[in-house]
Structures are given as C-alpha cells and as structure tokens.
Amino acid sequence: EAGVAQSPRYKIIEKRQSVAFWCNPISGHATLYWYQQILGQGPKLLIQFQNNGVVDDSQLPKDRFSAERLKGVDSTLKIQPAKLEDSAVYLCASSLANRGGRPPLHFGNGTRLTVT
C-alpha cells in the first residue's frame, strides 16, 4: 500500500510569513494526525481528525495555526504568521479508526520548516 504522502519536504520562510503543508493519508485510514517534532524530541500532537471532524486540537496554537480535512481524506496545516519557534519537522500520520489509542500510526516523512 502507498504510504502517507507529505509535501513539501523542506520549507524556509521568514518570520511573519505564512506557510502551508499538505498530507494525503493511507487510503481507508479514518484518523489523521498532525504532529510537531522539534529536533531531538518526541512528536507533539497538534490536531487529530476522525474523518473530517476534529477530535482533539487542544495543543494547536489557534491564533496562528489552522488545519482542515474538508472531504475526510487529505489535509492541510497552515501557519500564519510564522514565528522563529515554529522551526520544526511537521509530521502527518494516519491510522485506522482510533479507539483507545491502540491502532499503530503510519507516518509520512515530514516537512522540515525553518523560520529565519
């Protein structure tokens, strides 16, 4: 099966600019996650979708970050305006319907964002 696709792979922007990331999950996976991973740390969940509904966005900085999954398939994550501390790898993952956190996550290769 095709894996989780993410684009772009790398992005360099100046602070206060905007940026968008795209993710296409594995076909049939109802649950989609966006994670932020700062170098050398574990992933931090930003938002979790179940189909096209938001399950958890408690750690999403909503004043600058937004995400959507309009048709329940692919998703975009946007940052506007970017800050220096947003420099990180943004990982998209998908899984079968999440009941109790059991199903394994399948990750894309991420987008490495550098904010200068």
Q: What is the contact surface with another protein in residues (CB under 8 A)?
A: 4, 40-45, 48, 55-56, 91, 93, 98-102, 104-110
What is the nearest approach in angstroms of another protein to the Cβ of residue 107?
A: 3
What is the nearest approach in angstroms of another protein to the Cβ of residue 52?
A: 17
Closest to another protein by CB, 71 vs 99, is: 99
What is the nearest approach in angstroms of another protein to the Cβ of residue 4?
A: 7
Closest to another protein by CB, 55 vs 80, is: 55
Cis peptide before 81 (omega within 30 of 0): yes
Look at the chain and count its residues. Answer: 116
Q: Where are the beta strands (DSSP E) in the chain?
A: 5-7, 10-13, 19-24, 31-37, 44-50, 53-56, 65-68, 75-79, 88-95, 106-107, 111-115
